[in-house]
Amino acid sequence: MTKAGLVSKTKPEECYFSEWDRNLLSLIHELSGPLTAASLNLDKYVSLRNPASLDSLSANIKLMADYLNNARLLIKNLSVQPKPFNVNQQLNSLIKNLSPIASRQSVTLKTKTSRDSILIGNPIRFKQIISCFILNAIDAYDGYNQKDKQILVEHYSIREYLVISVLDYGSGINEVDKTKIFKPYYSTKSSTGLGLGLSLAAESIAQDFNGFVKVKSSKNKGAAFSLFFKLPDTARDKI
């Protein structure tokens, strides 16, 4: 990513969605990831009889069940108490779940972490947010002729925030699209995108984790999304 890339910071000043809408739309949008991965693993097992595919299939079915249960609690206005969770564990689990989708596009998912970090919040919501940006990075390689297709997911601390960075070297984002990608129903995908993923994810970071998103991109030189999550006080003292 070049220093000449465009940089934008997004923290919604107003909520586009009611809490009900956000929960329901997030569920509809985020189920597509593990559902697609589960389908790919099932196809792989049927064609190759690979036992490892069954393990991945089971993991993706469990993730879908977690998403559904989390949405059920939120939609029924039941309290989902924030709790500490290990960021590395959640990221590693998510990367494993999404790897079949990346592999279908000949994309390699890589992680780079500095140390174990703890956030306080809803870990299922956290996974939904990160999943959105990883799937978006995979889509950035669609129709893009490049041999070495990689996505790097890393995390590090800056002052009172934990930063999750999702970096790809795909098609990039032009200046016009960059001003609109966090608005609801705006999509650069001509036929498949609903235009909800990034807007829902950015709003969830702001509402559920008191954070924000920065994006740096140059056309045809990839994109780097930096997701800022507010650290708990105890974690900040160790930085």
pLDDT tens digit sequence for 11-63: 544 455 555 455 555 555 566 666 666 666 566 655 666 666 666 766 767 66
CATH topology of domain 6-12+84-236: Heat Shock Protein 90 (3.30.565)
195: exposed, middle or buried (Cβ count in 10 Å: 0-12, 13-18, 19+): middle
pLDDT, tens only, 57-108: 667 676 666 766 666 665 555 556 789 999 999 999 889 888 888 888 899 9
State both tokens at 15: 């909520």
Rounded to whole angstroms, the maximal C-alpha distance in the chain is 52
Tell me what pLDDT residue 234 has: 61
CA proximity to 166, closest of 217, 233, 115, 206 = 217
Tell me what pLDDT residue 48 has: 61
Tokens 């795909």 sit on residue? 170
The rounded percent of the chain whose pLDDT value lies above 70 is 61
Q: Quickly count helices (H) and strands (E) in the chain.
A: 8, 8
CA proximity to 122, closest of 76, 64, 81, 73 = 81
State both tokens at 237: 């003292």
Residue 143 pLDDT greater than 90, yes or no: no
Phi, psi of 108 (to 5 degrees): -105, 130
Tell me what pLDDT residue 5 has: 44
Tell me what pLDDT residue 70 has: 65
Residue 224 pLDDT greater than 90, yes or no: yes
Mean pLDDT within 163-192: 82
51 with 84: CB under 8 angstroms?
Answer: no
Tell me what pLDDT residue 189 has: 66
34 with 93: CB under 8 angstroms?
Answer: no
Which amino acid type is present at position 152? L
H or E segment to which residue 48 belongs: helix 32-48
